[in-house]
Structure 1
Amino acid sequence: MKVKPNLEHIAPSHRKTALLDDKQRIVSIYTDRWINYPEVNSIRSVVRAVYEMPRNIQAQCILVSGHSGMGKTSLFTRIESDIETLRKRDQSHGGCISFSMPADPTFSGFEDIVGEVLGVPIGKIRNGVIPKTFSRLAHLRNLRMIVIDEVHNLLNASRMDQRKSLALLRAISGPPLSLSIVALGIDDAEFAIRGDDQLDRRFQIYNLPHWKEDEKFRSFLAAYESILPLRRPSELSRKDKVKSLLGSSGGITGNIVKRITRGAVWAILDRKEAIDLECLEKAADIPPYIE
């Protein structure tokens, strides 16, 4: 009789996956995962608080910046989900629109994107004055917040288009609309917002720092390990593995996750069922496809 493995090291909701065959488990490992940790949890809480604030003459705005690969786009998606959940719980909550700034953001393209997410052309913006069409639509839909990813792309625009786009954001976040803006981008995002002094003063800035060897990082590793369908504990928070992961990743979340997921696949292929240092070293290479 086959004995079931002890899966107490895996979160209860993920234990069934560990009993699947190798190929199914590998597919599960490569599936995008969300791990909530203190920095992002704090930012999500702040965004929810701002969303539920009474309207002010000048709206409270938030800028989240971090090195590429620190998980800001995943956070963007999670913020969208958080706002939608709040709206479903209470229909009186204001509306929210979200979009990503294009890589080459001309001002007319910016106008078009806002119109696309609203589903209606908003009209042309002149001298930072919001068109009546947009104002009426924002009022009818009770818009409360705009969430923008890749806001650092504003720096790719011409100086004139950049000024116009910032003037638009300033007008949107001021009366009469007073919409809160949540912007996310890489480190350069702060320079984009600081191109307009009035707008800059409305933003509270939060950073996603690189990981370092501390309890927060060990907790993150333990949480990630608890969702991996490996049949033996990997003890990723052990000192030698922490050192290996930080040394190979530069403290970048995306690089760390890549090492762990590839290491987990190697652990299955090598019949170890736990990520050891050799698996982490082999994770520099993409594991082969399993037939």
Structure 2
Amino acid sequence: MGPGGSGKSAIISQIHHRVVNSKGLLFIDMAEDPQIATKKSLRGELAKALQLPFDSLTRASPKVDVPNELGEAIKLRGIWGIVIDELQDALLRSKQEQRANMSILKKLVGPAYGLKMFGFGTVAARLALSSNDEFKRRFFEFPLENWKESEEFRSFLFEIEELMPLKLPSKLYSEEMTKAIITISAGRMDKTVELLRCAASYAIRRKIECIDIQCLKWAAKSPWGY
């Protein structure tokens, strides 16, 4: 759980590369699309992830948490887990719809299917889950906090620098550079990455082939000025 820009989407994008048998995972994004007038439904997004027609599932009784078609597809395809992005958008609904979605999730992670569930969302998702005693017992929360000056952050900067197309070392992990990056970005993942991307562009434009403090200052003041 974490605020927008804390790196949730980046983690999800790496699951395919880092999780064994990730083909057995269903990926669902519950974020509302402003171009679509109707709200996403959890049952509908499950059907879409399984590539099943949703029209037939809408006729299923609302008292049935997981329609037969969904359940059979989950078992036949060897699905072992579900990844839900923007979980709060599935939980912060009307009381009736919230109860229905909670029931679907409980059914999927219960004995009938035994799926593992990985939910990514904001603090609102945590509050919604904690309001249900059963979910509170079942789930382990891992908060995504802003970066602080630490060995982990320096290791992260080292890896970022390795990926940059600059010919000379920037030593982003040095004490001076680390403090400057933390100060400018406030430790937010998205701001940190954007800051370094813009600073690298300034370094290339200036033909110095490395990021220095001045590049960071320019990137902070005018991200698109290069």
Displacement of 1:283: 0.3
4+ long deviations beyond 6 Å = none
Q: Say if 2:165 is the partner of 1:236.
A: no
* Counterpart position of 2:68: 132
Matches of 2:137 and 2:168, distance apart in 1: 51
2:29 aligned partner: 100
Correspondence 1:273 to 2:209: yes
Q: Which residue is equivalent to 1:166?
A: 102
2 CA distance for matches of 1:162 and 1:112? 15
Partner residue, 2:45: 113
For residues 162 and 276 of structure 1, what CA distance do their matches in structure 2 show?
50
The normalised TM-score by structure 2 is 0.87
Residue 241 of structure 1 deviates from its aligned partner by 1.4
Structure 1 residues 247 and 108: alpha-carbon distance in aligned structure 2, compared to 1, 3 A threshold: closer
Between the aligned partners of 2:91 and 2:133, the Cα distance in structure 1 is 16
Give the structure-1-normalised TM-score.
Answer: 0.68
Deviations 1:30-64 (A, max 9, x none): xxxxxxxxxxxxxxxxxxxxxxxxxxxxxxxxxxx
- Give the conservation status (yes or no) of the 8 Å contact 1:152–1:189: yes
Quote the residue 2:218 is aligned against: 282
Residue 258 (structure 1) shift: 0.8
Q: CA–CA distance in 2 between the matches of 1:68 and 1:108?
A: 20
Give matches, 1:173-212, under 5 Å.
173-212=109-148
Structure 2: runs of 5+ lacking an equivalent: none
Following superposition, the deviation at residue 264 of structure 1 comes to 0.6
Q: Structure 1 regions of 5+ residues with no counterpart?
A: 1-64, 89-94
Given that 1:233 and 1:274 are in contact with CA atoms closer than 8 Å, whether structure 2 keeps it comes out as yes
The structure carrying a bigger strand percent of its residues is: 1
| Matched length | 218
User: What residue identity is the alignment partner of 1:99?
Assistant: I
RMSD: 2.3
- Aligned partners of 1:87, 1:276: CA distance in 2, in Å? 40
1:178 deviation in Å? 1.5
Identity, in percent, stands at 30
Using the TM superposition, name which of 122-131 and 205-214 deviates more: 122-131
Match in the other structure for 1:221:
157
Q: Deviations for 1:51-110, whole angstroms, at most 9, x for unmatched residues?
A: xxxxxxxxxxxxxx1222121111112113434x5367xxxxxx3211101328x88722
Letter in 1 for 2:7: G
Residues 66 and 72 of structure 1 are in contact (CA less than 8 Å); yes or no, is this contact kept in structure 2?
A: yes
- Aligned to 1:102, the other structure's residue is in SS state coil
